[in-house]
Structure 1
Amino acid sequence: MPVVSGLRDGPLGAVVDRVRGALWPIPFIGIVIAVGLGVLLPTVDGWLAWGDHPLTFAFGGGPAAARDLLNAIAGSLISVTGLVFSLTVLALQLSSSQYSPRLLQTFVTDRVVQLTLAQLVLTFVYALTVLRTVRTADATVGESAFVPRLSISVAYLLTLGSVVALVLFIGHLASVLRVETMLRDVHDESTTTIATELGSSSDHDQGGAGGSGPARGREVLLTARSSGFLVGIDARAAAAAAAEARVVVELGVRMGDSVVEGTPVARARLEPGADLDVDALADRLDESLQLHFERSASRDVAYGLRKVVDIALRALSPGINDPTTAVHALSHASAILGKLAVHPADGRAHRDEDGNVRVVVPPWTLPALLQLTMEEPLHFAEGQPAVLRRLAGLLQEFAWQARGRDVDDQVLGYADAVAASARSSTQVPESETRAWRERVAQALAGEWPAAGR
């Protein structure tokens, strides 16, 4: 049965992912709402014709008082907005230098930050828009003074909301700068991506199950026309191009991998008798590949793991030397790796309208994910007993969840390396390091030792 690509696979999906990863969309929406309210509410005020007896909740001053109040609101709000932007930039600098530059993506998509900025700019723009409608008697010719009482009352309420938003933002900022909060946010982000990409096969086939492609024929390499990180693919367009050329395109890069212009990015397997225009197919494939200057967490299941490992590495650097943070980061890495271990590691196959496999995207395999998690932390954990113990625990946890997935030798090899590093660089007893490997082997065999053993 034909498989229709979802919104996430097309160019519109790429635009949505870019917008979600930016800081400006919600504040921009706030500006649009502010202009709309600033034009609409004064018109409503004109229809109401308050006269000298406004309702108790409405502004009761004259034109001069109205102008003074709106000027005060606009002047104070632009100053507060500048303060919030300064605090945001400071938070970005701290998170980049202290933890990892890749955490900036997570921070700028924080809804509290975006909504606070939206509230402040909305109030500022609204006050300016309403200010233009206030008329004094001596400033008009043939018209009476006009004070949009309801509009000014709304401006006052928006200002109160901005003060509350500022207080909440400062409290949130103090929380979000804690490394535990950042680790939690990355963990949640990664869990969402794994559930979206690997938790359902409604839009794609895993490993080409449920059908097969054309018979294997001559193979041709397709080179990349541009450079960047692979953050998505327009599967419908790629499958259509492959079907028209009568080939199966097997990508040579995974989601999140770097693509370099002029180097092979895919392999086209031709049907018998097919006459392929290599350059034309390479151009169409390039149009369907969504490349960006940085990785994105929306489709890349390994990116969250990369961020958490980066935090652990930064904590183990001589300039910071914070093994406790490294231990916490490795705990999150173990949890993310465990989620990836229970999902199949087969390639993702996209089909054409006739149900034939036309594009295959290689997966992040368990050996590659385990290497990403262990390789660098193991190198920098030398001389850190607590970190080495956590690495041994991570291997035991992973071994339990990855049983029967053909990674036993790799897991035991890392267990031996962790034990050897502990023996050579710390005073951890040899009996304890032997126990680390034994527990990993037991986990691979489906056994879990009782506490204290």
Structure 2
Amino acid sequence: MAWVRIAYNRLRTSLWLIPAVMAAAATALAFAVLYSGLDLRISPQGGQGWVFSGDAGTARDLLSTLLSGMITMTSLVVSITMVVLSLSAGQLGPRLIWNFMGDRQIQTVIGLFVATILYTLVILRSVNEELGASYVPHVAITVASLLVVTCLFALLFYLNKLARSIISDTMIDRVAQNLAGAIAAQPQARVATVGGPLPSGSHRRTIALETSGYVQFVDYAALCRIATRRNALLTVRIRPGHFAIRGGGRIDVLSQDPLPEPVDDDVRAAFVIGPDRTADQDLEYSIRQLVEIALRALSPGMNDAFTAMAVIDRLAAAVEAIGRRPLPRPEYTDQNGTVRVIADVSTYEGVVDAAFLQIRQSAAHDPAVLMQLAARLGDLLEVSRSDEQRAVLTKHIELVRRLSGALDEPADGRALEHTVAEARGRSAAALPPRATRPVRRAD
């Protein structure tokens, strides 16, 4: 199922799948209209004025004109798309192109253009001037005309979509929505039915991954079943999003009896490794996409503080949502509550570091961005839910405060100190700490 999920995400973010399906449907529609006998029941001679009424020569000329125009229009769309992708890659980052390619509306518009071309081509091949007027597919030609008109309106929608897609706020909003979806998809911690000790044993060994690449998915439930059958404890020292080197990415095994060699292959089969990172189990993936937008905005070539501040706002909202949900616990238990897998998981501190650390480093001499960062950290401190969260946020506020002395203008330093003081003052309004989160049990 892990491979199916990864393959589905690949297909979802490809520009060819929906156009290919629509093209096949258009070809089937063309043959259906040609051989369904609609021209015998619906014809211009029967008083249907909206149906094409020309002869075979006129039909071929019209279809040839429509086909030529559609090919030209599609070439224009492809050219504009390549220009927009180039601009987006330069301004916002090449890794954000996946968000553009995965847009269903863009895929559908491109599919409509390709489908109209194929439909018109099939109909054009069926028109034969030597067979007489009775063999002219009037209904099919009318449908081709309607498809071309639809493409004209779709072109206007597509141009508006592309124009909005290169606006940084639009891309920030889209990536933030993906991040919100990734946060909502994070598994909730579950209470174990029976508490139990860690398995003990005298046999220790290490299982290494045999493929280099990014860990995209780890089937912890499968690892838990393997450890339960062998009465062992697996300690996974790598998590989704990390890069694994062949022979590295160790999985430590502790068991009472020596494990046979086939167990190594079963353990490796629980890991999906690919050429890039995915958002399936990698909570920091979408966070780093937003961070990349901010870092490019803070680069000397762009120097766009407003985009960086917009990213900080979105990241603060994401961190707040993460703080309200129990993060995955490292322990996975069997049905009896015995810990079978200890995983390397994301922590609240790691999430906050991924969100704000690089932005703070790049904005070390930008007082506006630093004050925005301090203000949002203060907001997060106000709604924090545990001592752990407050300690992490206070650490980052202190790191921002230390940069006040490095600013060129003393007034900017004093303004930053004032913002930091206000942020620290909100800690009194923070919520009391919650109870310790429960251990999650694998299915």
Whether the TM-score (by the shorter chain) exceeds 0.5 is yes
Alignment of 1:364-383 (within 5 A): 364-383=346-365
1:323 corresponds to which letter in structure 2?
A
**Aligned mate of 1:127, from 104, 109, 120:** 120
Q: 1:105: how far off?
A: 0.8
**Aligned mate of 1:216, from 190, 195, 200:** 200
**Identity %, equivalent residues:** 25
2:232 corresponds to which letter in structure 1?
V
Contact map agreement 1:242 1:358 (CA 8 A) in 2: yes
CA distance in 2, matches of 1:158, 1:144: 23
Match of 2:11 in 1: 19
Judged with a 3 Å threshold, the aligned counterparts in structure 2 of structure 1 residues 144 and 164 are, in CA distance, closer, same or farther, namely: closer
Alignment of 1:38-437 (within 5 A): 38-45=30-37, 48=40, 53-54=45-46, 55-136=48-129, 138=130, 146-198=135-187, 201=188, 205-206=189-190, 215-217=199-201, 218-235=203-220, 237-270=222-255, 272=256, 274-277=257-260, 279-347=261-329, 358-427=340-409, 428=411, 431-437=414-420
Q: 1:243: how far off?
A: 4.0
Any idea what the Cα deviations from partners look like across 1:271-310, whole Å, max 9, x if unmatched?
A: x3x3313x53332233231222111234422211101111
CA distance in 2, matches of 1:17, 1:351: 29
CA distance in 1, matches of 2:89, 2:267: 35
1:132 corresponds to which letter in structure 2?
R
Q: 1:110: how far off?
A: 1.3
CA distance in 1, matches of 2:338, 2:138: 66
CA distance in 2, matches of 1:356, 1:77: 65
1:60 corresponds to which letter in structure 2?
S
Any idea what the Cα deviations from partners look like across 1:85-112, whole Å, max 9, x if unmatched?
A: 1111111111111111111111111122
Contact map agreement 1:342 1:401 (CA 8 A) in 2: no
Any idea what the Cα deviations from partners look like across 1:230-249, whole Å, max 9, x if unmatched?
A: 22234554444444444343
Contact map agreement 2:39 2:138 (CA 8 A) in 1: no
- SS of match in other structure, 1:261: coil
- SS of match in other structure, 1:263: coil
CA distance in 1, matches of 2:328, 2:415: 37
Q: 1:132: how far off?
A: 2.1
Judged with a 3 Å threshold, the aligned counterparts in structure 2 of structure 1 residues 108 and 287 are, in CA distance, closer, same or farther, namely: same
Contact map agreement 2:13 2:103 (CA 8 A) in 1: no
CA distance in 2, matches of 1:347, 1:189: 23
Q: 1:26: how far off?
A: 0.9
- SS of match in other structure, 1:231: strand
Q: Does 1:440 align with 2:423?
A: yes
Judged with a 3 Å threshold, the aligned counterparts in structure 2 of structure 1 residues 10 and 383 are, in CA distance, closer, same or farther, namely: closer
Contact map agreement 1:412 1:440 (CA 8 A) in 2: no
1:118 corresponds to which letter in structure 2?
G
**Worse overlay, 53-62 or 344-353:** 344-353
- SS of match in other structure, 1:302: helix
Judged with a 3 Å threshold, the aligned counterparts in structure 2 of structure 1 residues 34 and 16 are, in CA distance, closer, same or farther, namely: same
Judged with a 3 Å threshold, the aligned counterparts in structure 2 of structure 1 residues 149 and 227 are, in CA distance, closer, same or farther, namely: same
TM-score by length of 2: 0.88
1:296 corresponds to which letter in structure 2?
T
**Worse overlay, 280-289 or 14-23:** 280-289
- SS of match in other structure, 1:264: coil
CA distance in 2, matches of 1:109, 1:157: 28
Judged with a 3 Å threshold, the aligned counterparts in structure 2 of structure 1 residues 51 and 76 are, in CA distance, closer, same or farther, namely: closer
Contact map agreement 1:222 1:267 (CA 8 A) in 2: yes
Judged with a 3 Å threshold, the aligned counterparts in structure 2 of structure 1 residues 309 and 293 are, in CA distance, closer, same or farther, namely: same
Match of 1:5 in 2: none
Contact map agreement 1:207 1:346 (CA 8 A) in 2: no
Any idea what the Cα deviations from partners look like across 1:298-326, whole Å, max 9, x if unmatched?
A: 44222111011111111111111111111
Match of 1:30 in 2: 22
Judged with a 3 Å threshold, the aligned counterparts in structure 2 of structure 1 residues 161 and 238 are, in CA distance, closer, same or farther, namely: farther
Q: 1:355: how far off?
A: 8.1
CA distance in 1, matches of 2:99, 2:311: 16
* Aligned residues between the structures: 428
Judged with a 3 Å threshold, the aligned counterparts in structure 2 of structure 1 residues 447 and 208 are, in CA distance, closer, same or farther, namely: closer
Q: 1:53: how far off?
A: 1.2
CA distance in 1, matches of 2:223, 2:430: 46
Structure 2, gaps ≥5 residues long: 432-443
2:369 corresponds to which letter in structure 1?
V
CA distance in 1, matches of 2:343, 2:316: 25
Structure 1, gaps ≥5 residues long: 1-8, 449-453
Judged with a 3 Å threshold, the aligned counterparts in structure 2 of structure 1 residues 269 and 61 are, in CA distance, closer, same or farther, namely: farther
Any idea what the Cα deviations from partners look like across 1:1-20, whole Å, max 9, x if unmatched?
A: xxxxxxxx533222212211
2:139 corresponds to which letter in structure 1?
L
- SS of match in other structure, 1:229: strand
CA distance in 1, matches of 2:44, 2:103: 46
Q: 1:416: how far off?
A: 2.1
**Worse overlay, 243-252 or 344-353:** 344-353
Contact map agreement 2:22 2:112 (CA 8 A) in 1: yes
CA distance in 1, matches of 2:64, 2:311: 49
Contact map agreement 2:196 2:339 (CA 8 A) in 1: yes
- SS of match in other structure, 1:328: helix
